[in-house]
Amino acid sequence: MTGLEPFGARLRRVMDERGPLCVGIDPHASLLAEWGLGDTVDGLERFSRTVVEAVADRVAVLKPQSAFFERFGSRGVAVLETTVREAREAGALVVMDAKRGDIGSTMAAYAEAFLHQDAPLFSDALTVSPYLGYGSLSPAVALARESGAGLFVLALTSNPEGGEVQHAVRADGRTVGATVLGHLALENAGEEPLGSFGAVVGATLGDLSSYDLDMGGPILAPGIGAQGATPADLPAVFGRAVRNVVPNVSRGVLRHGPDAVALRDVSERFADEIRAALTSA
């Protein structure tokens, strides 16, 4: 398998060209209804295709949430395959939001499903969970390196329940979240202009100055828009690491559908606001 240019380098370039915005593709039942679509495979397909056609040629990253496709079974997964392929053909990088985490051959199989270049669901990066121990991700790390893909590892998530694990203090005095970030810094050591192994860190978490977020890789930052964070909040939350932040907006963009022009306009507005916030940092 001949790998692509490393994900980090490709991400840095498309962020510089298009602005650092990630738009989520989250076709849950309530959004399908808001768009006047049925909670069916046909509704799923129309929703996903509309988002891709509206914004995939102008935003840096699209992030389909696998669960909302998987719930329709094999036909939903077929729609996901098409969504990934068409988004990448339009020039967006695709981060598959599947949050996979397991051990041994099972983790290797998950990696092959999303990170092997010949796989129907091959994506530029995959979200993964390290909470069976960071070492359990080794098969995904190895295949990502081989294929030129990337990983976004759950580190400091925006859900309230996450703190009981991620802020827990280990015997060595470091929190679990800080330990994850430390592993990522090692993965990205020496990589320029940006490493391929990133963290998921919520934009709604406020002051994170006690954490070293500058670990050489990208930071996928959910929480902009419907969850309450704004582009102007990013410098205060992420500090010197803000240059590597990929803010994710899902409902804040998607609620403007099914009008493709409205989807394009609001995504461009978010991209402009994020670029302005990061430039002023």
Amino acid code (one letter) for 229: A
Angle between helices 138-147 and 104-115 (to 10 degrees): 30
Supply 94's token pair: 């695709």
What does the alpha-carbon distance between residue 203 and residue 237 come to, in Å, rounded to a whole number? 7
Calculate the alpha carbon distances from 86 to 51, 120, 156, 217 in Å.
Answer: 11, 12, 31, 26
Counting beta carbons within 10 angstroms of the beta carbon of residue 179, is it exposed (0 to 12), middle (13 to 18) or buried (19 or more)? middle
Supply 38's token pair: 């049925």
Per the residue annotation, which of 13, 58, 99, 167 is the catalytic one? 99
Longest dimension (CA), the chain: 54
What does the alpha-carbon distance between residue 267 and residue 59 come to, in Å, rounded to a whole number? 8
Distance of CA 153 to the CA centre of its chain: 9
User: Does the active-site annotation cover 99?
Assistant: yes
Calculate the alpha carbon distances from 96 to 24, 152, 206, 209 in Å.
Answer: 10, 10, 26, 29
What does the alpha-carbon distance between residue 269 and residue 261 come to, in Å, rounded to a whole number? 12
What are the residue numbers of the active site? 99
